[in-house]
Structure 1
Amino acid sequence: MKKIACLLFALTALPFLSFKQDFSKPVQLDWDTHFKGNPDNNSPFYALTAMTWRYSYNSTVYRNRVEIKLNNQVSIDKNRSWVKWDKIKNPEVRASLLHHEQGHVNIQYILLLEADRVLKNRTYSVKNYKAQISQLANEISNFFDTMQRNYDEETEHGSNHKMQARWDEIIEDKMNESLEALNTGK
């Protein structure tokens, strides 16, 4: 079987489909809905899912304590996400590649949950809370960028089915753990 390849890029783009504050479940990818962009014929990969994480907040200082109201969202840019249809004519290959791409979306969903939990549940200094929030957000982003790269490398972009199954379990466990932590406030 040909090696299936795909790559996720966290691209800054206008959000078209967002998880927004609905943390109940990740968006379920569909070839027809989410992959409208023109493929990069120079890319060795068969698909790309373009996603962006954005956050903003409003802050209030009360009794020498900073409280933030967080707006946290992840979006899939369907016009920058693409697939090379000529490379994935076999229905099984298509399904396998879409499953792999869904793993990227699920990892980004975990980022959304963790960012909400971590950024809201910190005590910030009144003097430098903006820098503290920015630093935490960068750490979260870097952690999940690394996770995305590891996912691609270890699954060989979805073509190593044994490692894909292992990552499916890791992602599912982390999603459940993150949802539970968010719901219990831990």
Structure 2
Amino acid sequence: MNIKTFLYLMAGVFLCVSLLSGTSPKEVPKRGRVTVYPNRLLNWNDFMMVDLIRGKSTINAICLSSCEVEILDIIRDKEHVELAINAKINLQKELTQVTHDFLARSDQTKKKQVLHHENGHFIIAQIIGYRIVRDVNGFKFDPKRYKYQLNDIIRNNFKDWKRLDSQYDAQTTKPTNKEMQDRWDRFLQSEMTALTKEVYH
């Protein structure tokens, strides 16, 4: 995948909207949560088939996700506020693409390898969602500045998102490197396991 093209596309979806609703849901979780759509591994049906991706014949497939942070509740005390948030990770269907040519000419092994790699990008997006929730859980926000402080947390994690995505591509696909892909698989699995425990246990 072409890194410059990938980063250009990501710039369009790396937008996070804080939804500040005036009322709280009836059942507010004690801590923040992460929701993922679709909440499963991706398959080729999740990708839009196109002739070219961003006009480049060198890109076989691309997976793009968005993160939206919703404030579920604001818990106030005398000096601080705490926030319960939902980090919503959504696959961007129109921007998640695979070329007709790649699917037509590639054998099953190659298609499986590329799909596995693209699932890594989707998992990285989920990791960022969990990190945002982790960083917000229990944080003592300034009552007058909590929106700005929340946006700082989101912005810092989005910087890591771009960095991780770039490193992931550079180390696993420039050129294809199975050993590095295996290392990244282990890292992503370990990170997801640790973050899930931090957020939910």
Instruction: Answer whether contact 2:79 2:143 (CA < 8 A) is retained.
Output: yes
Give the corresponding residue for 2:70. Answer: 56
TM-score under structure 1 normalisation? Answer: 0.81
2:170 and 2:84 map into 1 onto residues whose CA distance is 36
Show structure 2 runs of 5+ residues with no match.
15-32
Change (3 A) 1:166 1:104: same
Give the corresponding residue for 1:35. Answer: 47
Give the corresponding residue for 2:161. Answer: 144
Could you tell me how far 1:78 is from its partner in structure 2? 1.5
Could you tell me how far 1:91 is from its partner in structure 2? 0.9
Instruction: Answer whether contact 1:110 1:175 (CA < 8 A) is retained.
Output: yes
Show structure 1 runs of 5+ residues with no match.
14-19
Query: Are residue 85 (structure 1) and residue 85 (structure 2) matched?
Result: no
Give the corresponding residue for 2:13. Answer: 12
Could you tell me how far 1:26 is from its partner in structure 2? 5.0
1:26 and 1:157 map into 2 onto residues whose CA distance is 29
Change (3 A) 1:92 1:158: farther
- Overall identity of the aligned pairs, in %: 19
2:175 and 2:124 map into 1 onto residues whose CA distance is 14
The one-letter code matched in structure 2 to 1:65 is: H
1:115 and 1:182 map into 2 onto residues whose CA distance is 10
**Could you tell me which of 33, 42, 45 is aligned with 2:59?**
45
2:43 and 2:133 map into 1 onto residues whose CA distance is 26
2:175 and 2:82 map into 1 onto residues whose CA distance is 42
Instruction: Answer whether contact 1:6 1:97 (CA < 8 A) is retained.
Output: no
How big is the alpha-carbon RMSD for the aligned residues of Structure 1 and Structure 2? Answer: 2.4
* Count of aligned pairs between the two proteins: 172
SS at match of 2:141: coil
SS at match of 1:143: helix
Give the corresponding residue for 1:168. Answer: 185
Query: Are residue 182 (structure 1) and residue 199 (structure 2) matched?
Result: yes
